[in-house]
Amino acid sequence: MRKLFGTDGVRGRANSHPMTAEMALRLGAAAGRYFRRDGKDTHRVVIGKDTRLSCYMLETALTAGLTSTGMNVLLLGPVPTPAVGMLTTSMRADVGIMISASHNPHEDNGIKFFGPDGFKLSDAAEEEIEALLEAGVEPAKPENIGRAKRIDDGRFRYQERVKSTLPHGMTLDGLKVVIDCANGAAYRAAPEVLWELGAEVVHLGVSPNGRNINDGVGSTAPQAAAEAVRAHGAHVGICLDGDADRVLILDETGAQADGDQIMALLAARWAEEGRLKDGTLVATVMSNLGLEHFLAACGLKLHRTPVGDRYVVEAMRRHGWNLGGEQSGHIVMTDYATTGDGLLAGLQFLAEMVRIGRPASELAKSFEPCPQLLKNVRYAAGKAPLEAEEVKAAIAAAEKRLEGQGRLLIRKSGTEPLIRVMAEHADPAVLSEVVEELAGAVERAA
Task: Kindly tell me the sign of the dihedral angle through the C-alpha atoms of 171, 346, 167, 79.
Answer: positive
**CA–CA separation, 8 vs 10, rounded Å?**
7
Distances in whole angstroms, Cα of residue 4 to Cα of each of 23, 441, 446? 10, 28, 22
Residues in the chain: 446
Q: Rounded to whole angstroms, how far apart are CA atoms 355 and 433?
A: 44
Peptide bond into 208 cis (omega under 30): no
Determine which one of 54, 68, 100, 102 is catalytic.
Answer: 102
| CA separation for the pair 427, 431 (Å, rounded) | 6
* C-beta of residue 48 within 8 angstroms of C-beta of residue 79: yes
Rounded to 10 degrees, the C-alpha dihedral 327/53/213/153 comes to: -80
Contacts of 356 (CB under 8 A, 6+ apart): 363
Residue 440 CA, chain-centre distance (Å), reads: 29
CB distance 185 to 78 below 8 Å: yes
The torsion angle over the Cα atoms of residues 250, 251, 257 and 259, rounded to 10 degrees, is: -70
DSSP-assigned letter for residue 7: B
Count other C-beta atoms under 10 Å from residue 142's C-beta.
6
Cβ neighbours around 268 below 10 Å, total: 18
| CB neighbourhood size of 54 (10 A) | 22
Active-site annotation holds for 102:
yes
Residues 427, 383 contacting (CB under 8 angstroms):
no
The rounded distance, in Å, linking the Cα atoms of 9 and 100 is 10
| Chain centroid offset of residue 375 CA | 20
Catalytically active residues are 102
